[in-house]
Amino acid sequence: MHKDLPAGLTNQLFTNTGNSSFTEFLGSFAPQLLPVRDERLATPIGDQVPHATTIVAASFAGGVVMAGDRRSTSGNIIAQRDIEKVFRTDDYSCMGIAGTASTGIEMARLYRVELEHYEKLEGRTLSVAGKANRLAAMIRGNLAMAMQGLVVVPLFAAYDPDRDAGRIFGYDVAGGPYEKERYDAIGSGSIFAKGALKKLYREGASADDTVTMLIQALYDAADDDSATGGPDVTRKIWPVVSVIDADGFRRLGDDEVAGVVQRMLDERMISPDGPIAPLR
């Protein structure tokens, strides 16, 4: 059987005439490499594996920004202080993960190959809606594991060249996608982050203002949710911030983010709850 041979040593690589989905090719060629769908887990183990927490995203004029905090937790323990939960998936899209960290990271890795594989075989990139649908199918495939406690819910953001605008898609454990207007947040701190974004979001804001907006929202989430990490000034661990516009995906450097965070902290020394929205 071909499965006994190292990948590539069979003619199957040259005779597969199915569609351009990498996931489906992987499922037929080497199904053992798909993210595990073990339905035999006796007890939910959700609390014992690290969980990723808060991701926020907001669109601006001509693009979209996504940001995530750096904490992962197992129960009451901080599992990692500097985990990265926002991933570039192709030149014009990215995804953030909340829920079981390991499952989410694996999903992001597969999803990146999925998008690139299609692009290389077909000679064109998938439409934004096509990308969002593929991710939904992947999450639905994880439903059995989610019922056992290994929940992973991503947030997907992409630049759409047809509209010259950023678009945001949310999901639930059974799939999706749900297109979100303006902004969205996922993870344990998302309630607080959304509350902040509701008051801070400005139509037609610049990319820089939107970055500030998201960092404020993450701070508010960390303020009230123990599983969300605030900026770690002593260790110099800053949120991961990614901007996608017509020029493509760009992850902001640590210096850039540190500058925005520092300015916010200076303001919060005076007004600890952050910017105050006008009453009317």
The contact set with another protein (CB under 8 A) reads: 7-9, 11, 13-14, 16, 22, 25-26, 29-30, 33, 88, 91-92, 109-110, 113, 116-117, 119-125, 159, 161, 164, 246-250
Per-residue burial over 25-56, b if 16 or more Cβ lie within 10 Å, else e, is bbeebeeeeebeeeeeeeeeebeebbbbbbbb
Instruction: Determine the Cα–Cα distance for residues 20 and 110; give it in Å rounded to an integer.
Output: 14
Is residue 31 classed as helix, strand or coil in its secondary structure? Answer: helix
Instruction: Determine the Cα–Cα distance for residues 138 and 119; give it in Å rounded to an integer.
Output: 18
Q: Nearer to another protein by C-beta: 30 or 143? A: 30
Q: What is the closest distance, in whole angstroms, from the C-beta atom of residue 110 to another protein in the complex?
A: 7
Q: What is the closest distance, in whole angstroms, from the C-beta atom of residue 258 to another protein in the complex?
A: 21
Instruction: Determine the Cα–Cα distance for residues 11 and 2; give it in Å rounded to an integer.
Output: 9
CA atoms within 13 A on the CB side of 196: 26
Instruction: Determine the Cα–Cα distance for residues 170 and 186; give it in Å rounded to an integer.
Output: 8
Q: Nearer to another protein by C-beta: 48 or 206? A: 206
Is residue 229 classed as helix, strand or coil in its secondary structure? Answer: coil
Q: Nearer to another protein by C-beta: 25 or 201? A: 25
Q: Nearer to another protein by C-beta: 62 or 275? A: 62
Q: Is the peptide bond before 44 cis (omega within 30 degrees of 0)?
A: no
Q: Nearer to another protein by C-beta: 11 or 234? A: 11
Q: What is the closest distance, in whole angstroms, from the C-beta atom of residue 65 to another protein in the complex?
A: 16
Q: What is the closest distance, in whole angstroms, from the C-beta atom of residue 248 to another protein in the complex?
A: 5
Structure-block tokens of residue 259: 């500058």
Q: What is the closest distance, in whole angstroms, from the C-beta atom of residue 66 to another protein in the complex?
A: 16
Catalytic: 17? Answer: no
Question: 53, 54, 103, 228: which is the annotated catalytic residue?
Answer: 53
- Catalytic amino acids? 53
